[in-house]
């Protein structure tokens, strides 16, 4: 990523105050990630141990979150960057911010199919024994998350 690609007026927020949850939902939808009504995302982010929201001026352009026992285990979810802001280093910034908030933890996640390389660049390794029990198991299999 060329540093000059980074938008000039970027700011980071690490709490859930004044977040437009419908916007969170529509961003997730726009990048083909699982999305719910805004209130459901509000609950998920508010119950997370680490949250990161990225703004360009006052426009929400990306986010991510981790749930954790805050002792030794954590899992990362909902890492997303608005399409026109992708490829500028913002995803890496979100991930680094989350990881810095849980330095003592092992971290797991499941990448969207095709995004594994993004996490591999951040030193994530593929799990050999990862198992998941998804609510909609058929859909997740069709989308390529499970065998």
* Residues at the interface with ligand COA (CB under 6 A): 1, 31, 33, 79-81, 86-92, 111-112, 114-115, 117-118, 121
Pairing between β-strand 59-68 and β-strand 50-56 as defined by DSSP bridges: antiparallel
Closer Cβ to ligand COA, 81 or 105, answer by number:
81
Among residues 113, 72, 83, 111, which one has the least CA distance to residue 95?
111
The residue (of 16 and 75) whose beta carbon lies closer to ligand COA is: 75
SS3 state at 44: helix
In the bound state with ligand COA, the residue whose beta carbon lies nearer, of 26 and 112, is 112
Cβ 31 to ligand COA shortest distance, Å:
4
Distance CA 12, CA 52 (A): 7
> Which C-beta is closer to ligand COA: that of 16 or that of 145?
145
Q: How far is the CB of 114 from ligand COA (least distance, A)?
A: 6
Residue nearest to ligand COA (CB): 91
Q: What angle do CA 67, 56, 85 make, to 5 degrees?
A: 80
Minimum distance of ligand COA from residue 94's CB (angstroms) = 7
For residues 89 and 2, the answer to whether their CB atoms sit within 8 Å is no
CB of 117 to ligand COA, least distance (A): 2
Task: Confirm if 134 and 144 have CB atoms less than 8 A apart.
Answer: no
């Amino acid at each position: 990523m060329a540093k000059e690609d980074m938008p000039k007026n970027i700011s980071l927020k690490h709490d859930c105050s004044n977040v437009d949850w419908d916007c969170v939902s529509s961003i997730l939808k726009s990048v083909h990630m699982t999305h719910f009504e805004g209130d459901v995302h509000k609950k998920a982010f508010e119950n997370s141990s680490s949250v990161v929201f990225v703004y360009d001026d006052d426009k929400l352009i990306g986010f991510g979150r981790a749930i954790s026992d805050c002792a030794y285990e954590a899992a990362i979810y909902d890492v997303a960057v608005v399409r026109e802001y992708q490829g500028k280093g913002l995803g890496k910034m979100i991930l680094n911010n989350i990881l810095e908030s849980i330095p003592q933890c092992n971290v797991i996640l499941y990448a969207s199919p095709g995004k594994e390389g993004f996490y591999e660049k951040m030193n994530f390794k593929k799990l050999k024994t990862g198992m998941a029990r998804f609510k909609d198991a058929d859909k997740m299999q069709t989308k390529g998350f499970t065998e």
